[in-house]
Amino acid sequence: MAICERFGNDRTRLLDILLEVQAQFRFVGPSLMECIARQISTYRVEVEGMVSFYAFFSDTPRGQVVIRLCDDIIDRHAGTGEIARVFSRILGIGFGDTSPDGHFTLEYTPCIGMSDQAPAALLNERVVTCLTPERAEEIALGLMGGLNPGELELPEGDGNNLNPLIGSTVRNNIRLRGEVLLGEVPADAGLRKTLRRPPDQVMEDVERAGLLGLGGAGFPTGHKWRMAADTPAERRIVICNADEGEPGTFKDRVLLTERADLMIEGMTIAAYAIKADGGIIYLRGEYAYLRNYLEAVLQRRRDQGLLGAGADRLGGFDIRIQMGAGAYICGEESALISSCEGLRGEPKNRPPYPVESGYLGYPTIVGNVETFCCAARILDRGAAWFRSWGTKASPGTKLLSVSGDCERPGVYELPFGVSVRELLDLAGAPDAAAVQVGGASGQMINMSQFDRRICQEDLPTGGSVMVFSARRNILEIVEYFLDFFIEESCGYCTPCRVGNVFLKQRIGKIRQGLCQPEDLDYLRELGRTVAETSRCGLGHTSPNPVLSSIANFPLVYAALLKENRNGREASFNIQSALEESRHLAKRRSMIYDPTYDGD
Amino acid sequence: MKKRIATVSLAGCFGCHMSLLDIDERLLDLLELVEFDRSPLNDLKRFTGPCDIGLVEGGCCNEENVHTLHEFRANCDILVAVGQCAVMGGLPVMRNAIMHAEDPLRECLETAYLDSDYVLNPTNSIPNDPALPLLLDKVYTLADVVKVDYQIPGCPPSGETLWHTLDALIAGRQDRLPYELIKYD
């Protein structure tokens, strides 16, 4: 098979191989699995495991055009339901189905990073945003009329989205530019200064700047670099995590579009500091429309002698793009590394940490897009300059992705320490009643907490800020987040695989008014168990929406709970439990049908 | 005053009751402390009055189980789910695995009485005597149906575990089972 050969029949590139096979054949069926396995000298089950793990792969044929409608909570509030009905009606298929002629597949997908222009959808790799029923109808009719997604007439995007290599309808919606990232950024100034200094001093600068990982976990970046540099090894690897999957986050998309050079500059600086020769940008599958542009930027930098064989000061450091294939869990660094190695995106056991033994066993630093951008700026302007913004524990500025019930959704670059209220004022959200800070795995706060500050000391976030007005149903939101985690759990450890289902079931029962006050104890205890005993960050944080909404919106719960006086569970209904049996036995119940006369 | 205890086996195998007998000579100590109301141990079929403690073995697979469980809940101050079937459904709950079928209960009965290779059923009929309680659509745990105060794991819980449980409940102690009693490997 030519595709396997193109990747050198390399088992560790299985993800790339499968992406191409899926694109070419539109499915990876049993015979293809067999064939790939033989060619890359592995077992069929390894290939099948990959196909079943990643959402973008299918073992049955999918349509030539796969329409993935974003089903995030923000999109739902913006009217996904109506859009879904339009697509379904015109294409004549339901969600999860492929049309009999093999032209179309219709499905839902979690957040595709377009919450500020919801509802949005992916038509193969093409993104369409701000959908209205009318536009959805136009698109669906266009596709039915035989147009490719690329040929559809759609409104243009803004900024670099107009670049012919991107050519996207996406809008950046940059609402506020700060000085660190979205203001004027001189090209490669940080890198030039870096190359004049020994690697040790470079790391020292990042350490002194107090830069924390900006993807959400907030680990000190300089320390991470130092640990990787201190681990003796033949090779070291720098990975940029552009798998921006946290619902409601889209700031990395804007950086990838507008600050790609800065991000790659930051990666190059990191490579110089830790003496890495290999780099990977792990780009989420949903952002595939940015791939050609990023490849072109990489190539230009190679031509400029800033990457690859020509970059002798950098030991030939080069970067490849690894496309993801639709798995939220791959945003977790050890799962991301598994994915780059051609494995299922399952987290690895730690220790050893990636800085000791990461990609293919080499010391690896994994950093967020924004983190690398900041590192490049720090090397240009110095630690003190960077520390002039933000708080003691969270220096610098932060890109915040604001979405939901506000007038000006989009990206705001603000110093750490900004209060939620200030942000809401900027975004125009006078009737905000609840704010989810930090995405699905973050905290839901109420109005009395809007003076809390966004920073490591108070409310940490990877950038997602979802605003909900009083019209929204808090428990619907919580239940949606649990659905999301159930779908995205890799299934490896029981607390996460099973615990999240139990949490959701109980929230569902509460919503139906079938629960008692003690059920909150159950949720708290189960939530704690899931958080404490899960294997990776997904399970550590998945109970957060439940726990924080119980703590911050007690009245919402109280209104739905009923004291149970007779000791019977309200959710158990003997009449419906007997219905099938009555029908099969063709008789009524001696106990529960009062008029029973022994017929 | 002696504590009053009731026990019953619903969709269980009486294994938990057998296990209770494994407390051996401590049965005599137990009888010093408690009086048995409704229980298979004394063959009393109806409650004679309110009880302090109800021990329920087995989950609910039919309407009679539900009816009995409601009676236990109404008559017992403390209701204890004893053993795996009562707590999680146990062996009977395996029939819930066919819930995804079109007509799960029919499929279950046909497999059990007609289709299995190991069935000898000359009349080729599914039992349906009017005296047979109707089956529920699926097997429910006790906590699905009523509020349960304590759950005792084990298949069956050992005599030691049951003694420990009863000893604490009779003395009115809030207690946890020691690790050794709930460690099975």
- Can you spell out the DSSP letters for B105-147? HHHHHHIIIIISTT---TT------TTSPPEEEEEE-HHHHB-
At B3-50, the pLDDT tens digits run: 999 999 999 999 999 999 999 999 999 999 999 999 999 999 999 999
Average pLDDT over residues A493-520: 95
Q: Name all domains of chain B by residue range, CATH numbers in brackets.
A: 3-92+136-182 (3.40.50.700)
Beta-carbon separation of A569 and B143 below 8 A: yes
Q: Please state, in angstroms and as integers, the Cα–Cα distance from residue A85 to each residue in A77, A82, A146, A275, following that order.
A: 15, 5, 21, 54
Nearest residue to B8 (alpha-carbon basis) of B63, B46, B50? B46
3-state secondary structure of A364: strand
The answer to whether domain A397-472 has CATH 3.90.650.10 is: no
Beta-carbon separation of B147 and A576 below 8 A: no
Range(s) for CATH 1.20.1440.230 in chain A?
A: 475-558
Mutate one of B61, B62, B63, B77 to test the A interface: name it (highest A CB count within 10 A).
B63
Residue among B67, B74, B130 minimizing CB distance to A587: B130
Average pLDDT over residues B84-113: 90
At B108-161, the pLDDT tens digits run: 999 899 998 898 999 999 999 989 999 999 999 999 999 999 999 999 999 999
Which pLDDT value is given to residue B175?
A: 84
Q: Please state, in angstroms and as integers, the Cα–Cα distance from residue A170 to each residue in A116, A129, A290, following that order.
A: 10, 7, 11
At A145-175, the pLDDT tens digits run: 999 999 998 888 999 999 999 999 999 999 9
* Cβ–Cβ contact B112 with A under 8 A: no
Instruction: Identify residue A446 by its one-letter amino acid code.
Output: N
CATH number for domain A65-155, candidates 3.40.50.2000, 1.20.5.50, 3.40.1260.10, 3.40.30.10: 3.40.30.10
- Residues pairing with B140 in the sheet: B60
Reply yes or no on whether the pLDDT at A434 is more than 90: yes
Which pLDDT value is given to residue A400?
A: 97
Average pLDDT over residues A38-57: 96
pLDDT bin (cut points 50, 70, 90) of residue A566 is confident
Which pLDDT value is given to residue A597?
A: 57
Average pLDDT over residues A10-35: 96
Tokens 């460690």 correspond to B183
> CA of B78 to nearest chain A CA: how many angstroms apart?
11
Range(s) for CATH 3.10.20.600 in chain A?
A: 397-472
Rounded CA-CA distance A296/A541 in Å is: 37
**Mean pLDDT, chain A, integer:** 95
Rounded CA-CA distance A410/A393 in Å is: 26
Rounded CA-CA distance A401/A173 in Å is: 10
Beta-carbon separation of B130 and A590 below 8 A: yes
> CA of A597 to nearest chain B CA: how many angstroms apart?
11
| Residue B138: other Cβ atoms inside 10 A | 21
Residues of B in contact with A518 (CB under 8 A): 147
At A353-407, the pLDDT tens digits run: 999 999 999 999 999 999 999 999 999 999 999 999 999 999 999 999 999 999 9
Reply yes or no on whether the pLDDT at A249 is more than 80: yes
Reply yes or no on whether the pLDDT at A596 is more than 70: no
Range(s) for CATH 3.40.30.10 in chain A?
A: 65-155
Compare all CA atoms of chain B with the CA of A597 and give the residue at the minimum distance: B130
Beta-carbon separation of B138 and A568 below 8 A: no
- Contact call for residues A357 and A383 (beta carbons, < 8 A): no
**Residue A371: what are its φ and ψ, rounded to 5°?**
-60, -45
Which pLDDT value is given to residue A38?
A: 96
Average pLDDT over residues A327-344: 95
At A71-100, the pLDDT tens digits run: 999 999 999 999 999 999 999 999 999 999
Range(s) for CATH 3.40.50.11540 in chain A?
A: 175-387
Which pLDDT value is given to residue A599?
A: 45
- Is this complex's ipTM strictly greater than 0.85? yes
CATH number for domain A475-558, candidates 3.40.640.10, 3.40.50.720, 2.60.40.420, 1.20.1440.230: 1.20.1440.230
Q: Which DSSP state fits A149? A: G
Residue among B79, B105, B146 minimizing CB distance to A580: B105
CATH number for the domain formed by residue range(s) A175-387: 3.40.50.11540
